[in-house]
Amino acid sequence: MTTYDKSKIMREAHRMRKVEGFTMSQALKLAWGKAKRSEFYLIIKVRSPRIVNIDYSDPMIQASLCNYYANNTYNGD
């Protein structure tokens, strides 16, 4: 899905309306058309990979998990 920077598009439409004398409707149509042709108006989201490296063979983690679940009661998880 493509996401556009609506703030830039609206600023361009207002500029067209003020400077070039278009109506707001015409300016918005032209600004959206320009946005769809140009990468300048795109919002690019970069997601970093979620990396979780837990070594459960570590004796400290094993001891803490055993102690946590050793009381045989509900712990809220």
The average pLDDT across 17-35 equals 94
Residue 42's pLDDT is 81
pTM: 0.54
Alpha helices (H) in the chain, listed in sequence order: 6-15, 24-37, 59-69
Cβ proximity of 3 and 9 under 8 Å: no
Cβ proximity of 5 and 43 under 8 Å: yes
Residue 68's pLDDT is 66
pLDDT over 70 at 67, yes or no: no
The average pLDDT across 11-26 equals 95
